């Protein structure tokens, strides 16, 4: 008979047992469930609601169950419905009477909210850690290729030359923001619902703050109805995970493009590529594609939870049981994707010659030629038109701006003199963009220092969680 079976005359219909059970999912929360129960029992004893002997038997019994689960010696039975009842039933089987007293002043509603918040804290911490691993790989690759230049793109058309390190660091900043979004999700989860009981609090003299403190929460949820029905902290985690997945997907997309024959900017190591079962020559960026593809399931988890929550009246509803699978899946997907991406970036070969060669097409110096005229007094809009005509001439002749003669330039404007040739040199164009956050080597070096510094700060944030 189920732990709640007292008022029933018959068992549940065949099929609903499995349908209603969350054990296959929430068994992954056994550590949190045991920690929550030990904190609850200790608090009950401190408040004189439970004897010290009962508390000790409960805590020892729970420790033994945890050891058995971790040794793979615990048999989960779907008839127990969820992790809370699986552990409580086993505890009672092992220690008898004392086990039956554990649930005093507690409901599965505040119990599951507590377990889920503890798990959300653990998972967001692990996700934060994984973002750092990828950022270290990105900044190391940036530093290792400090002088490499490639075409910068807008609309996927050649625009202006940029340093490869600048390009890679753009991604490092995305994952930096993800770290902080995940930290916000961590903070949202870091409030204890324990003691809210089923929905209204309890008549036992519980010390909610004691239990909260011993579980490492920063505060207690101030409203018992909100405590058992709020899953905003999971939405925060899902959103932070979704943005991280989007950033991973953009980087993956660039790796797929860059490793194509058309680009050839990057060669992935064998360890992060796969072959084709029919075409012997193939080397495919499968793992970048898979990371891009996994974005769908992460977004799906966010939308699933939003939809699950939208019609729920206060307070606990069984619909909430659908909250944990997505949390676990998103965290697992993001942690693994970040790890694989870090390995891929860290072992990739960036083909500097191919990138530089690509800068020869697309008239990348055009903006600088217009700036040249504007700096000599021509209004920029006019200069833009003059250079536009020069580009048209190049297109007709099938050449680049660097192939035009000084007479061609002078015919377009008498503001041109011989030093225009220097303005067409790709490294000089890059070196001239000295704005803070710009692509000049010194500016990018400064930027890399900022990324390194933020990594140290964030390692300290993690160590404090």
28: annotated active-site residue:
no
Least separation, in Å, of the C-beta of 201 and ligand ARG? 16
Binding mask 141-180 for ligand ARG (x = CB under 6 A): ----------------------------------------
Instruction: Output 23 or 243, the one with its CB closest to ligand ARG.
Output: 23
SS3 content of the chain, % helix, strand, coil (to 5): 65, 5, 30
276: annotated active-site residue:
yes
**Residue from the set 7, 155, 310, 318 that interacts with ligand ARG by CB under 6 A:** 318
CB distance 312 to 320 below 8 Å: yes
Instruction: Output 178 or 323, the one with its CB closest to ligand ARG.
Output: 323
Instruction: Output 316 or 350, the one with its CB closest to ligand ARG.
Output: 316
Annotated active-site residue in 260, 269, 276, 428? 276
Residue 321 in the binding site for ligand ARG (CB under 6 A): yes
Instruction: Output 312 or 385, the one with its CB closest to ligand ARG.
Output: 312
**Residue from the set 86, 98, 112, 444 that interacts with ligand ARG by CB under 6 A:** 112
Residue 390 in the binding site for ligand ARG (CB under 6 A): no
Least separation, in Å, of the C-beta of 320 and ligand ARG? 5
Per residue in 394-428, is it b (16+ CB within 10 Å) or e — as a string?
beeeeebbeebeeeebeebbebbeeebeebbebee
What DSSP assignment string belongs to 443-461?
A: HHHHHHHHHHHHHHHHHHH
For residue 285, give both structure tokens: 């960026």
Residue 26 in the binding site for ligand ARG (CB under 6 A): yes
What DSSP assignment string belongs to 236-254?
A: HHHHHHHHHHHHHHHHHHH
425 Cβ contact partners less than 8 Å away, ≥ 6 residues apart: none
Residue 22 in the binding site for ligand ARG (CB under 6 A): yes
The rounded radius of gyration (Å) of the Cα atoms in the chain is 30
d(CA 48, CA 45): 5
**Residue from the set 40, 55, 106, 108 that interacts with ligand ARG by CB under 6 A:** 108
Q: Is 159 helix (H, G, I), strand (E, B) or coil?
A: strand
Cis peptide before 85 (omega within 30 of 0): no
d(CA 425, CA 96): 83
Instruction: Output 3 or 246, the one with its CB closest to ligand ARG.
Output: 3
**Residue from the set 82, 90, 329, 368 that interacts with ligand ARG by CB under 6 A:** 82
Question: Which residues are catalytic, by number?
Answer: 155, 276
Contact residues toward ligand ARG (CB under 6 A) are 22, 26, 82, 108-109, 112, 316, 318, 320-321
């Amino acid at each position: 008979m189920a732990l709640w079976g007292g008022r029933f005359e018959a068992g549940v219909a065949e099929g609903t047992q499995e349908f209603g059970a969350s054990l296959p999912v929430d068994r992954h929360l056994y550590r949190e469930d045991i920690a929550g129960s030990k904190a609850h029992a200790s608090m009950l004893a401190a408040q004189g609601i439970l004897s010290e002997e009962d508390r000790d038997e409960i805590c020892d019994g729970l420790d033994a169950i945890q050891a058995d689960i971790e040794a793979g010696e615990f048999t989960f039975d779907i008839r127990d419905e969820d992790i809370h009842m699986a552990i409580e039933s086993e505890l009672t089987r092992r220690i008898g009477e004392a086990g039956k007293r554990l649930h005093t002043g507690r409901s599965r509603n505040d119990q599951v909210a507590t377990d889920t918040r503890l798990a959300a804290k653990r998972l967001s911490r692990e996700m934060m850690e994984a973002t750092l691993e990828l950022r270290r790989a990105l900044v190391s690759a940036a530093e290792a290729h400090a002088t490499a230049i490639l075409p910068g793109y807008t609309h996927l058309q050649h625009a202006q030359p940029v340093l490869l390190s600048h390009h890679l660091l753009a991604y490092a900043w995305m994952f930096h923001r993800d770290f902080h979004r995940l930290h916000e999700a961590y903070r949202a989860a870091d409030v204890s619902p324990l003691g809210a009981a089923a929905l209204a609090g309890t008549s036992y003299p519980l010390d909610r703050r004691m239990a909260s403190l011993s579980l490492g929460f920063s505060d207690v949820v101030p409203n018992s109805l909100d405590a058992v029905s709020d899953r905003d902290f999971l939405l925060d985690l899902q959103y932070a995970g979704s943005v991280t997945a989007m950033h991973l997907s953009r980087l993956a997309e660039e790796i797929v493009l860059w490793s194509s024959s058309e680009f050839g900017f990057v060669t992935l190591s064998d360890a992060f590529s796969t072959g084709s079962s029919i075409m012997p020559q193939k080397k495919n960026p499968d793992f970048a594609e898979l990371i891009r593809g996994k974005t769908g399931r992460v977004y799906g988890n966010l939308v699933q939870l939003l939809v699950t929550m939208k019609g729920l009246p206060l307070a606990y509803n069984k619909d909430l049981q659908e909250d944990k699978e997505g949390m676990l899946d998103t965290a697992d997907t993001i942690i693994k994707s970040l790890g694989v991406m870090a390995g891929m970036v860290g072992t990739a070969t960036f083909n500097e010659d191919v990138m530089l060669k690509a800068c020869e097409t697309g008239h990348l110096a055009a903006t600088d030629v217009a700036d040249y005229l504007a700096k000599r007094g021509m209004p920029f809009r006019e200069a833009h038109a003059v250079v536009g005509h020069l580009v048209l001439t190049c297109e007709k002749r099938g050449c680049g701006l660097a192939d035009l003669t000084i007479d061609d330039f002078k015919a377009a404007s008498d503001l041109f003199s011989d030093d225009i040739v220097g303005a067409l040199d790709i490294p000089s164009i890059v070196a001239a963009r000295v704005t803070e956050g710009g692509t000049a080597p010194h500016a990018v070096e400064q930027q890399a220092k900022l990324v390194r510094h933020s990594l140290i700060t964030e390692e300290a944030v993690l160590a404090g969680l």
